[in-house]
Amino acid sequence: MILVGDIGGTSTRLAAFEIRDSRLIVAAEETFPSCRYDGLEEIAAAFVGRRKLDINCACFGIAGPVINGCVKTPNLAWTVEAAVLARTLGLPEVSLINDLEANAYGVAALQSNEFFVLNAGSTAPTGNVAVISAGTGLGEAGLYWDGDEHRPFACEGGHADFAPRTDLETEMLTWLRAKFGRVSCERVLSGPGLVNIYQFLCSTGKGKPDANITAEMARRDPSAVISRAALADSDPLCVKALDLFVGFYGAEAGNLALKMMSTGGIYIGGGIAPKILEKMKGSIFMDAFLDKGRMRPLLEAMPVRVIMNENTALLGAARCAALTTWNRHLSCCSTTVEEPSEPQTKRPIRLNREMTLQLVRQ
């Protein structure tokens, strides 16, 4: 049985998969509020212990840079160590990967109907692929093309410097610098980033805040309140804030596409994009994405797709675990193989890429 997780600043999602007849079957799944726990070890032990799961291998996608099997999460007061998790779960080892790297692994496991196409691009795209996801924070990752298949890798591009494009955005950068000092892309392109945009508009007299919106923001997730009001077109300031947010999303996606040379496509993940799909489908996102001067024709040929499957990171972690465990010949993935010239033997086998994807897609 494979234990996987998608660990973010807001929530931690765990799932256990069983392999039955060459298929991955979900045996258990649960979401935990991250901030209510002292660490991932506590959550994982509770998840496995309550269900008495017999775990053979595990992979967790975590929001933050993974260095030598250790992650200090930037949006959560946790330090996650693979060795500690392995001891907690009674496993020889545990894989830790960046959460966007998990999403990158998951992209290959999705069907065409699990994407919404913003830009069709080339009919036969090849080359590198990029993934960008705004949620509690801003994550970015890539998949480089080795001539045979795409290989995921992590990066921390969401913490690169925010670059304004207009006079209004320059004014906002000055306002954000007064509040935070250094301003990264994540300060505007995330759930909290949308709130920062809204507060900037209110604080600088770009409109009059609605008292009802202010009261609701105090009771509920303020970014969700802003986006709902904007989508309903019920508050001009919220509409302006979300329009700016979507423009920032498109601009940064275009920046990432250029840096990754993602001629194979760019995928928009995270929890926010599917919820604001009506805005993403409008002209603001793609106009900002393509607004790269002489590089516009290059970007026009890149497919741009929104990931609609909320389980992509879990699928990706499962795919990563499956690849790792099969390739390392772990006993949980052994089978009996008949060979014409030799007696029947029982030994581990190495799955090829296509077989592994079939497992994850079920």
Model pLDDT for residues 149-163, shown as the tens digit of each residue: 899 999 999 999 999
Which residues, 6 or more positions from 238, have their beta carbon under 8 angstroms from its beta carbon?
A: 198, 213, 225, 226, 227, 229, 230
Q: What CATH number does domain 2-99+311-361 carry, 3.40.50.300, 3.40.1110.10, 3.30.420.40, 3.40.50.2300?
A: 3.30.420.40
Cα separation, 31 vs 48, whole angstroms:
13
If DSSP codes are grouped into helix, strand and coil, which group holds residue 162? Answer: coil
Say what the pLDDT of residue 327 is.
Answer: 62
Give the residue ranges of DSSP H helices in 31-129.
40-51, 82-89, 99-107
Kind and range of the H or E run holding 214: helix 211-219
Which residues, 6 or more positions from 174, have their beta carbon under 8 angstroms from its beta carbon?
A: none
Residue type, 318: A
Residues of the chain where predicted confidence (pLDDT) is lower than 50: 329-362
Say what the pLDDT of residue 330 is.
Answer: 39
Give the CATH fold of the 158-261+271-293 domain.
Hexokinase; domain 1 (3.40.367)
What is the reported pTM? 0.87
Specify whether the CB–CB gap between 245 and 189 falls below 8 A: yes
Residue type, 205: G
Model pLDDT for residues 51-77, shown as the tens digit of each residue: 999 998 999 999 889 999 999 988 788
Residues of the chain with CATH 3.40.367.20: 158-261+271-293
Beta pairing partners, 29: 15
Residues of the chain with CATH 3.30.420.40: 2-99+311-361
Say what the pLDDT of residue 24 is.
Answer: 67
